[in-house]
Amino acid sequence: MSDLHTGDAPGHAGAIAHHDPADHGEAHGHDDHAHGAEALGPIDVAAWGAGVLGLAIAAVIAACFAIAVSLPL
């Protein structure tokens, strides 16, 4: 257990106060899990494009299989 959460386990002093639902981090300047606010990074266009291309190729392959198994022998 990290030093940040020492004594944070149930049954230790302050454990209930630390996780009080009424305290949403306003008094501490951070969220309830002690993580600072992080901005999202830029969109990776190449990765998303590769994913979309992969889905399109998979759809074409699935359509080819559907056509192939539906044709009479």
Full 3-state SS string of 29-66 = CCCCCCCCCCCCCCCCHHHHHHHHHHHHHHHHHHHHHH
pLDDT score of 51: 98
pLDDT score of 2: 54
Q: ∠ CA 19-24-30 to the nearest 5 degrees?
A: 100
Positive or negative, the CA dihedral 47, 48, 54, 57 is negative
pLDDT score of 21: 58
For the chain, domain boundaries: 3-70
What is the tens place of the pLDDT at every residue in 9-47?
666 666 655 555 565 555 555 555 666 677 888 999 999
Q: How confident is the model at residue 56 (pLDDT cuts 50, 70, 90)?
A: very high
Q: Report how far apart the first and last C-alpha atoms of the chain are (Å, whole number).
A: 66
